[in-house]
Amino acid sequence: MSESLKILIAEDEVHIARAVMTILKKSLSGCNTDHAKNGEEAVRMAAANDYDLIISDWNMPKKNGDQVLRELKENERTMNVPFVMLTARGDRDSVMEALKDGANEYVVKPFKTPEFIAKIQGVLNSTSPDKRRSAVDNSKEVSLVDLIVDKFKKGEVALPVLPGVVTRVNTLFESEEVDVEALAKVIESDAAIAAKLITVANSPLVRGSSKCVSVEQAITRLGLQQTKNYVFAAANKADFVADNKLLKGVVEDLWEHSLATAYCAKALAQELKCTDIDTLFIMGLLHDIGKLLLISIIQELAKVREGFDEDAVLDILTKLHCEFGAALLKSWHYDAGFQDVARYHHAAFNSEQVSCELLIVYLANLMVREIGLGGDGAGFGEALDSEAARKLNVSAECAATVLMHTEQSLAAAKQAL
C-alpha cells in the first residue's frame, strides 16, 4: 500500500465525512483525505487530482453517488480509480446496481470500524480490476443476505403475528373512551404481562403510597397511556428470545437498545413539548423490529446452513433490518409514520416525508449509544452535530437532560420487566 495514500470522501453530511476521515487517518498509514460536499464537487475534484480511492455517499445534493460513479467510469482519467459506495441503503437491488455501475465495494451505514477498514484495505490491496472483491459473488456475508432477501421476495418468510394482548389493547384504544375494567380484563388474559404490569406499578419508577395487588389498581396508578406503553414493552421483551447461543447475546442487547431508544424518544418529545408523547415511545420501541424478524429467520436457516458467525449475523441485521422492519409493521397494520421510522431511522432525510417523529427517533437511536447501547459510545456528539438536532433545536443541555431521564427510566424498567 502506498505510503502517501490519497482518498476523496464525497459526503454531504459533514459529521459523517469527518468521522470517516478520522477513521481512515487512524487506520491507514500515511493517509491523506479530501472532502467533497456534493456530487458535482466530487466529480470535479476527482478529475483534477490523482486519488487512490474514492468513497462516496449515495444520496447527495446536485449529483447522487450513482451519478458520480457513472461519470467517473466514463472519464478516461478517473475510470480506473477504485470506488466504494457508502450509504444507508442495504437492499440487494441497490448493491447490484452499484456493483454493475463499477463500484468495487459497498459499505452500509451505520458500519463497524473494523468491517469498514477491512473492506477499504481489500479494495486498496487489489492489484487489478479482475481481482477486486465482488460483494455479491465472493462474499459469504452478502451471499447470506442474498439468500434471505430471495426467500423474503418469494414469500417463504412467515411474518410473525402481532401478540394477541397487544392487538386487543390497540382495539380498545381505538375507541373514544377506554374503559379501565375492560382494559384490565384484556391484560389479565396474559398472566405474564399482567404480573409485570403490577410489578411496574409497585416499582421505584412509579411512586405510590400503597401496594397495587390487581391489574385494575395498576392501570389506575399508571394511567391509560402508560399502561399501554408497558404492555407493549412487556410483550416486546417476550418476543426477544433466542434458542441459538450465538444469537442470545445479540437479542438481549437488541431489546435493551430498543427500550432505551423508546425512553429516549419519549424524553425528547417531552422536552420538545410534542403532543403525542406516548406514540414516540412505541415508535422507539419498534424502530428495530426488523432485526427481530431477521433473527427468527436466521435461527431457522442456521439449523441447515453454515456461515452464521457473529460477524455474518451483524452484517445481515445491519443491511436488511430497515426494509424488513417496515414490511413487518405494514403487515401489523401500523400506519406510514411507524413504517417510515423503521425504514429511515438511520437516514431520516431519505424519507419523502421527514416528520418530527422520525427525526426524534433518529436522534434517540444515536443518543443511546452514549450510554453504551447500540454502538461504540460516540453517538452523543454525532447526534448533536446532526441536521436533525438543528431542525428540532436540540441543545447540548437538552440532550444531557434527556439522557439522564433515559438512564433512570431504563434502569427501573429493566428491573420491573
Angstrom CA distances, 267 to 93, 261, 373, stand at: 37, 10, 16
Q: Domain 5-138 falls in which CATH fold? A: Rossmann fold (3.40.50)
- What is the assigned CATH class of domain 164-416? mainly alpha
What pLDDT score does 136 carry?
Answer: 31
Q: List per-residue pLDDT tens for the chain, 417 residues long.
A: 445 789 999 998 888 888 889 888 888 777 889 999 999 999 999 999 988 899 998 888 888 888 898 899 888 888 888 888 887 765 556 667 777 777 888 887 777 777 788 778 777 776 333 333 333 333 344 467 777 887 777 777 777 777 788 888 888 888 778 889 889 998 888 888 888 888 888 887 776 678 888 999 989 998 888 888 888 888 777 666 666 666 777 777 888 888 899 999 999 999 999 888 888 998 998 999 998 888 888 887 777 776 677 777 877 888 889 989 999 899 888 899 999 999 999 888 888 889 999 999 999 998 887 666 555 445 567 778 888 888 999 998 998 899 888 888 888 777 776
348 DSSP 8-state letter: G
> Do 104 and 136 contact (CB within 8 A), yes or no?
no
> Residue 201's pLDDT is what?
86
The residue with cell 409514520 is 337
Residues 6+ apart with CB under 8 A from 287: 258, 261, 325, 341, 342, 345, 361, 365
Does the reported pTM lie above 0.85?
no
**Confidence at residue 3, expressed as pLDDT on a 0 to 100 scale:** 53
What are the structural domain ranges in the chain?
5-138, 164-416
